[in-house]
Structure formats: structure tokens, C-alpha cells
Chains A and B, each alone.
Chain A
């Protein structure tokens, strides 16, 4: 390992400080902008919340009223936006003791809402869905501003941090950049290496998007699929110059069993943080600078990673995963003969220096479990 990497590792190697157990599984877990809450959208129609200011994460009343899965969550200020796979969109004051929706749109999309994004000024909320549409709402009241049909199953939307442009990524590996006033993309980035038509199945697609702080680099995440069915593929990040659309680097951050990059974030210190999951038991957490050939941090001990959230203080991450031993063709039963489902360990990890001080000051914070 180079000295440079050693220096980065010394500062940013994440150490586990606690684990929250969420059952049933959650799709993703996110720190709130204030850093006091961790919120997770789950497979059980609700958004779960934990108070992170206490010694042990303490679960609070969850946000209900959704159907299907809640995969899409976004924040602005004290508002949390959540969307489900049945097409419902809701806004909440997530700091309230028993939150009720500030507003809802019952049928924002025809079915599965894949992702939400809030403009940097907090004025607009964008959503995309399996119905191949992008919708823009006023963030304060949910009033629809406009919608347009893209023509592909859309996985991702993301606002540029400064220009107000919107970026979308679809199943066939096309990334479009939109001005909010136009239904024609300003430009398109080809990420079709992240897509494969295999037999009857459309496999892969753009699964993650992230900007660096300056908005100059756009990172596109997914997999280079080998096959459908039991999807296998190389987890891949495409690092693109946003202005020119030029591909700067392609980072293959795992083997075929590690499969999908589910989430990627740019750390202000100039490196990418990505999580992957693939064949159960595989998956990794990867920290790598965009121009580097190798990661400076690679964690293969936490399998099946589905989301990564960076705490606003920049010193801690939350990684939502699926438990080990999650798969199998048999009939898993507990002692009572009941069928056993899976759960999500949400791993809380602090960067090296912080972890040391955490351990010194908060010795009671270790593996904690709420369900």
C-alpha cells in the first residue's frame, strides 16, 4: 500500500461502533441532515427512525401510511420525503415525536417509485419510477410542477448541487441531464456497459448516482452484468466529467459475485465511498479515489450491503445490509417451527480517529440491537 493510501487509511478507516438490527429488512438507512436521526425505509411499509444522540440508538415511532416497500427517502432541513413501490409520496417533519404526513400524493407514480431527490435550494422534489416518468413537485406542499415521460424504467434521479440541473439514470444504462423547463435532455452520458439484455430479462442499469462537492464529477454506479436470473456482474463505477460528459475512469470494485453498486457517495476528502451486494454472503464497502487503480479501504466482512449514508459531521457512516445466511433453498424454521425471514443489520462505523475517541468517551456504545 502506498504511503498516500496509508495516510488516508489512518484517518478514514471505518471501525464498527454499533449495529442496529432491523427486522424485517430495510432497503436503505440515512442520517438526517441534523445528524440526530437515522431513518430507514423498509420492506414493511414504514420508515423507521432511531435517535442517535443517546448512548444506544433508540428506536422512535415509525412513519406509517405507505404500502409495499419504502425504498426512496430524501431529506431537506427538517423534512423527510418518502416514497413507496405502490406510487405514494409523502413529506414528514421527521423530528416530531409522532409524525404525521405534512402532505401526501397518493398516486405520484403508477407503481414503484425508485428514487427521490431534493434540489439544493429545497424548492423542488424530483421522483422517478418504473412508470418511466420523472415528476417534479413543490417540496413545501407536494403540488405537481411538471412531469415527463422518459421511456425507460428509471432507477435514479439527482440534482446537481449548484446548477439546478437534474440527472436521471435508467435501466438501459442511459444517463440524461435535464433542465427543469425542458423535456429534452441537455445531454446524455452513455453508461450502457451497465446493461445487458439476457434472454428475456433486462439486467442491470444505472443503480447509483453521485456528485462531488463541486459538481464537477458525476459518478455512475451499477454492475457490468454477465447474466440475468441469478444476476452476476462486476460492480462498476463510471467517473465522468460532468460538463463534457467525458469518461475519466472506470473503476471495477469487485468480482462477479459482488455484483451491484447500490450506493456511492463522494467524501469531501476526495474519495468515493461505495457499497455493493451480490451473491448472498458477498458484497463490500470500498473507499477509493476516482483516479486511483485500487481502493485504499476494502471491507469484505460485511456482506450484502445495500446502502451507505455519511453522517453530516463527515466522521461516521451507516451501512444497511442483509444478515449472513440469508439464502438457501430449504425451509428455515425457528424453534417454534415458524418460517424465518431475514433482517437488516445497520452497521454504524466511525472513521479511525473518531472511533478511537468514541471508544474512549462512550464505552457503552457497542453492538446494540433494536428490532
Chain B
């Protein structure tokens, strides 16, 4: 493992102590405010760019339902069976296809969706499952693969918007999630916007005027160049990227202004975290961000699963159906790949807390848009919903499918990390043809 060996070697690029002292003093003296503000947004899009984006710019909206949405209370209901739970299934806009009654609005746009009901993945724990799923569960080569968002950011680049390629709209706090990038390096990490808000201290302090700011930036750039001279390119690129991105973000503080969402939009998406965050996500897509992750926490319903899903699912239904409708109506769905999924599904059996536990054996996800057939349901489970009865699809199959949908040939394209070629998706898996255009 050449890469691993190199990582373990003595680091000849490490900072000399004196440089730290110099840098720190200069840093504190010259870039207070600007440094912190560097995590803002940027890049006003010209109409012509926007048109180009619509035409060519493939994007991803990755809706992460953290904890495990129950497939039986969503995409693959088994009403009136032993493990089917209390809910009914309802017909959808796709003849013959039924989903849970908890998804009434999504049922009306089923003809726009592509659902997989035959996921069979490998991990039933959150701690390992979340990363394993989002990294595509590749073969173990002793390296840390990137999350899907980082992979897309790397393989497709940020596009012309100058906005960060991979953003994450999430409840709670924000920050830079460099861990997502794995071996690609921190430049491809996720920039997380906690509660959909702009990074703190994004705006230039009023005490500094534009000229002061320019002077400080020139000084910073000089410092960066010096800093970069004897360091790994991967690290210095990330550093430069952060400041460039920050500059762009500072110019796009409008993206975070949730007060400009209309009453009607909020009602359609829902006046809850997921609804607001999905609206922020839509804005990011409209502004040209390559990969937008929107996530919801609190789906690990080991207890009171049915009352839990009775309040969780309608909120998901509202926000999910609204974004798919909007992307479709705005002509964006053709180029935006929408994926809604968790790290696993939930057990058929119902435990003593009237809950469902973790179940990677037979579960579902839903998608729409870019490169995918619309109105298709791939795979099937048995009548009790306990096992997959058609071909089982692992997350590697989904990575192949998603890359294909985005125009990336996962069979031939590779990452090359320190000279080591690495497949971008599990080489034993393949794209699911029936899902693809």
C-alpha cells in the first residue's frame, strides 16, 4: 500500500516551529475577521452562466435521513402482513405502485421517481454504516474513500459558479467537514451550513473598509504563497480554496437569508427544519453548487416507531415532494440527481418498545432526475418484507448507477492517489440498467 506507507513516513513538509510563530503573529495582526469570514459564500451568477448551468451542469441533491427511515412505513409497505405495521398503502401516480399512506404528496409525483426496493447492504450499525454507505463501501485497500459528495466534487469539479462544490445543509452546527473527503484531501470536504445559516463572521467587519480588506487579502495571499512553498500541494490547495471560496461566499450572503422565503414556499416545504433546509438546498442548487446534501436527524426509531414515523414521514413527504416538484417545474430535474436515503432500513419485527431496529438486509431508497428513468421501481422484497427476492443491490451498485447518471464512467474512470489507481465504485458491482435512461 504505497499511499499508506507514504502517509506513515516522516513528514518532511511539516512546519518549522519559527514559521508557526511568524505566521500566527501575522495572521492575528492582519486577517482578523477576514479569516473567520472566509467560510462564507460567493460568485454571483450571470444569467448566461445560469443558462449554461441549466443546460450542462449536472448536480446532486442528496437527502440524508440519518438514523434509518423504515422502508415499511415509506417506499415498500406490506399492509396486512405480520410485520406490516398499522398503516395502509396508497396508490400513486404510477399505476400499480403503492407506497405508505404517510407519503400522500409523494404518491402524486411517483411518476417522476425511481425507487429501489431491493437494497441489501453490509452494515447494521450507525457508526460504521453511515460512512460505509456514503463512501460506497468499496473494497478495503487500506485507504479511506471519499463520501459521495466529495467524490462528485472531485470528479465533476465545482463548475462555474465559484461556489463550494460540496455543501451540507444540516441541523445544528456547521463547519468544514474535511473527513468526508478521505484520500482526496481536505479541498473536497463538505462545507456545512448549520441550520442553513451562513458561516459565522461571514460579513466583513464594518470597521474595515474595502481598501483595508483588499490590503489584508494581498498580505494573506503573500503569506499563503510563502506557506505553500514547501508543503504538499493537496494541503496548500485546500488552504487557497478555502479563502477563494470564502470570498465568493461573502458576496452571496443572500443565499442564507431565510427571511426571503415566501409564506407560500414555507407552507409548501414545511415550517420545520427539513422544510427550511430543503429551501436553502434549492437555493444552493439554483446558484450552481455541484453537490448539496440536506439532512435530517432523529430517524432511529427503536422505540415508538409508528407514532414516530406518523410525525416524521409527513414532514419528509412535504419537503421531498416540494423540492422534486420545484426542480421539475424549473426545468432543473433533468440535470439534478435527487437521492433520498438512510444508512439502512428498519427491521420487519416489532420490538417491545413498539419500535423497529436496524435492517440492512432488505430496504429501499428513492431518487429522481438526472440520468434516471422516471416512474420506475427496481427490485422487490418477499411478501413479508423480510428479504430481497430479486437481485440484491448493494451500495456499490448505487454508486455505479449514480456515477453513470452523472455521465461518469465508473467502469473505467479511477482515482489516482500517489500513483495508485483506485476504482471509483466497487468493481464487483454494476449500474442498475433499469434505472438508467
Contacts and interface: CB of A to CB of B under 8 A. Distances in A.
A318 B384 CA distance: 30
Interface string B59-78: 00000000100000000000
A67 B79 contact: yes
A254 interface: no
B297 interface: yes
Contacts of A115: none
B353 A71 contact: no
Given A277-B352, A283-B352, A342-B349, A44 B357 contact: no
Contact of A329 (B304, B307, B359): B359
Interface residues of B, number: 49
Interface stretch (A174-182, A228-236, A242-250): A228-236
Interface in A186-231: 198-203, 205, 227-231
B137 interface: no
Chain B contact residues: helix, strand, loop or mixed: loop
Nearest to B300: A229
Given A201-B312, A304-B353, A341 B83 contact: yes
A329 B358 contact: yes
Contact of B351 (A24, A171, A200, A326): A326
Interface in A147-173: 153, 171
A327 B82 contact: no
Contacts of B315: 200
Contact of B101 (A111, A303, A322, A328): A111
A326 B352 CA distance: 6
B86 interface: yes
Interface of B: 67, 79-80, 82-88, 101, 124-125, 171, 272-274, 296-304, 307-308, 310-312, 315-316, 347-355, 357-359, 361, 384, 386-387
Interface string A310-337: 0000000000011110111111100000
B86 A112 contact: yes
Contacts, number: 144
A93 B16 CA distance: 88
A85 B353 contact: no
A332 B349 contact: yes
A68 interface: yes
* Chain A CB within 10 A, most for which of B87, B298, B351, B355: B351
Contact of B352 (A227, A228, A303, A329): A303
A324 B349 CA distance: 13
B353 A259 contact: yes
A86 interface: yes
A281 interface: yes
A199 B296 contact: yes
A321 B354 CA distance: 11
A194 to B, nearest CB: 13
